[in-house]
Chain A
Amino acid sequence: METFSLFQLNEYIRRVIALNFDDTIWINAEISQVNYSRGNYYLELIEKEEGSDKIKAKASANLWYKKSLFLRKKFKDIFDSILDTGNEIRVKVKVEFNERYGFSLIIEDLDASYTLGKAELVKQQILNKLTAENVLHLNGQLELPISIQKIAIVSSETAAGYKDFMSHLDTNSFGYKYETELFQSSMQGQAVEKELIAALDEIENGIKNYDCIVIIRGGGAKLDLAAFDNYAIAKRIAFAKLPVITGIGHDIDSSIADIVSHTDLKTPTAVADFIIERSLTFESRLLDYGLKIQIAFKEIMASNNSYLDLMQEQVKSSSRSLVQQNHQFFNEALIKIENFTSNKISRSIALLDSYAKQIELLSPENVMKRGFSIARQNGKAIRSKKDLDAAAFIETEFIDGIIKSKIQK
């Protein structure tokens, strides 16, 4: 049996491969590792068994410096995002075999839309899961204070977005003061999940009370934000005890972290504007209340004053009329008394007059005028013949004189 040297074998394999793979081909794979050295990218590509983490294929793939410059120009800032651990990629490769370095794939081109699409698919799956668990709007149900003053910030100190946010908040033209505290977390890459969740835990377990949690980072390529399309992060935000406001720099699509948050804004400065605007609304509402109280107070004063004036007028006029009524009563009484007395007097006078007339009629003179005369004996009027003294003279008085007579029989 013939024996070959290793080189002979590898040379043979190289020829077989070169013969069969003279053209480039497109393949799908997941990036499990990326190393960068002197402008060259050294990737490890894998393929897992469906529904498990078991690796069923593995290969090295190299992207040489010159090609990387070309691709970076073609895809701009997406380029770095695509070549990130965990991404599903579609790449055009040349299959190579080198006698010394063995089998490798040389990357010639990338399909960005495939990676984006894959990320979108993953995102959709997470969204479906969260929807099924009914936690999508959990944080949104928390009440955000009318005026936000104490803010727990989750960001990276070195992130541009954090600086923008702080300077925007500090230099607000209304002079509002905010109490902020930074809880550090990576805002990009594989570490985000662990660090962001740890930061939220720290905020909630601390003794300080905050009005809300703000998660901010500056803008980035779409795939940079893939870290926020994460199930564990989304669930942690959903169950946060404080309202979460996100400003993680997206243009069009919201990340899952944005969707589960209480309020989702495009940029850190938009978050600062939102907070300042709330303070402004709150302040103007207070001013409005003050004004309304002043107006109501003036109305109450005026109505009380006029009521008192009315009372004063009424007391004056009604007491005057009471006195008037009494006056009138007395006047009337006086008139009645006067009338009564004068009547009584005139009636008495008339009575007296009639008495006088009667008396006059009965006077002896008047009686004698009517033919009567008075018989007297010894100065006494004789009322009966039994009283007569036959021996004495009888004196008879007439109206016009007295005669003396003697009794003969």
Chain B
Amino acid sequence: MTKKVDISYQDAITELEQILNDIQGNQISVDTLTDSVARASELIKYCKEKLKSTETQIKGIFEDEAN
């Protein structure tokens, strides 16, 4: 079960780092490993999308300025 991503970019990064830390520190049981990895990959996807949309928006702003 993965939570729906509805958090800020910064919070997503923080959560991602926590998950990675837990995995690397062997603090995650195999029972929850799949969920954790799924969550991590979801967070990464979310962050990348957020970056992409920011990029598009900012490009839009600069293009508006140029016109």
Question: Chain B interface mostly helix, strand, loop or mixed?
Answer: helix
Asked if B33 and A319 sit within 8 Å, CB to CB, the answer is yes
Asked if A322 and B41 sit within 8 Å, CB to CB, the answer is no
User: In this assembly, does A121 line the interface, its C-beta being within 8 Å of a C-beta of chain B?
Assistant: no
User: Of A294, A319, A326, which contacts B62 at CB under 8 A?
Assistant: A294
User: Of B16, B54, B58, which contacts A311 at CB under 8 A?
Assistant: B16
Taking the closest CB of chain B, its distance from the CB of A276, in whole angstroms, is 22
Chain B residues, CB < 8 A from A308:
44, 47-48, 51
Interface size on B, residues (CB 8 A): 24
Q: For B12, give the chain A residue with the smallest CB separation.
A: A308
User: In this assembly, does B65 line the interface, its C-beta being within 8 Å of a C-beta of chain A?
Assistant: yes
- Alpha-carbon separation in the docked complex, A304 to B52 (Å): 11
Within 8 A of A (CB), among B8-29: 13, 16-17, 19-20, 23-24, 26, 28
User: In this assembly, does B30 line the interface, its C-beta being within 8 Å of a C-beta of chain A?
Assistant: yes
Chain B residues, CB < 8 A from A301:
51, 54-55
Within 8 A of B (CB), among A312-352: 312, 314-316, 318-319, 322-323, 325-326
Assuming the contacts A297-B58, A301-B51, A312-B44, asked whether A323 and B30 have C-beta atoms less than 8 A apart, the reply is yes
Q: For A291, give the chain B residue with the smallest CB separation.
A: B62
Asked if B40 and A311 sit within 8 Å, CB to CB, the answer is yes
Assuming the contacts A290-B62, A311-B16, asked whether A322 and B23 have C-beta atoms less than 8 A apart, the reply is yes
- Alpha-carbon separation in the docked complex, A2 to B58 (Å): 113
- Alpha-carbon separation in the docked complex, A337 to B50 (Å): 51
User: In this assembly, does A125 line the interface, its C-beta being within 8 Å of a C-beta of chain B?
Assistant: no
Asked if A305 and B33 sit within 8 Å, CB to CB, the answer is no
User: In this assembly, does B37 line the interface, its C-beta being within 8 Å of a C-beta of chain A?
Assistant: yes
Chain A residues, CB < 8 A from B44:
308, 311-312, 315
Asked if B36 and A319 sit within 8 Å, CB to CB, the answer is yes
Assuming the contacts A301-B51, A308-B47, A325-B26, asked whether A319 and B58 have C-beta atoms less than 8 A apart, the reply is no
Q: For B37, give the chain A residue with the smallest CB separation.
A: A319
Asked if A315 and B62 sit within 8 Å, CB to CB, the answer is no
Asked if B20 and A314 sit within 8 Å, CB to CB, the answer is yes
Asked if B51 and A315 sit within 8 Å, CB to CB, the answer is no
Asked if B41 and A315 sit within 8 Å, CB to CB, the answer is yes
Asked if B17 and A318 sit within 8 Å, CB to CB, the answer is no
Asked if B51 and A305 sit within 8 Å, CB to CB, the answer is yes
Asked if A315 and B30 sit within 8 Å, CB to CB, the answer is no
Taking the closest CB of chain A, its distance from the CB of B44, in whole angstroms, is 5
Assuming the contacts A304-B51, A308-B48, asked whether A322 and B62 have C-beta atoms less than 8 A apart, the reply is no
Chain B residues, CB < 8 A from A325:
26
Chain B residues, CB < 8 A from A305:
48, 51
Chain B residues, CB < 8 A from A311:
16-17, 20, 40, 44
Chain A residues, CB < 8 A from B65:
290
- Alpha-carbon separation in the docked complex, A318 to B23 (Å): 6
- Alpha-carbon separation in the docked complex, A57 to B23 (Å): 110
Chain A residues, CB < 8 A from B16:
311, 315
- Alpha-carbon separation in the docked complex, A304 to B58 (Å): 15
Chain B residues, CB < 8 A from A297:
58
Chain B residues, CB < 8 A from A312:
40-41, 44
6 additional A-B pairs beyond A307-B13, A314-B24, beta carbons within 8 Å, are A308-B47, A308-B48, A311-B20, A311-B40, A315-B23, A322-B30
**Residue positions of B touching A, CB distance < 8 A:** 13, 16-17, 19-20, 23-24, 26, 28, 30, 33, 36-37, 40-41, 44, 47-48, 51, 54-55, 58, 62, 65
Task: Supply 29 A–B pairs (Cβ within 8 Å), ascending by A.
Answer: A290-B62, A290-B65, A301-B54, A301-B55, A304-B47, A304-B51, A305-B48, A305-B51, A307-B13, A308-B47, A308-B48, A311-B40, A311-B44, A312-B40, A312-B41, A312-B44, A314-B24, A315-B19, A315-B20, A315-B23, A315-B44, A318-B20, A318-B23, A322-B23, A322-B26, A322-B28, A322-B30, A322-B33, A326-B30
Closest 10 CB pairs of A and B: A315-B40, A318-B23, A319-B37, A318-B24, A312-B44, A308-B47, A308-B44, A319-B23, A326-B30, A314-B20
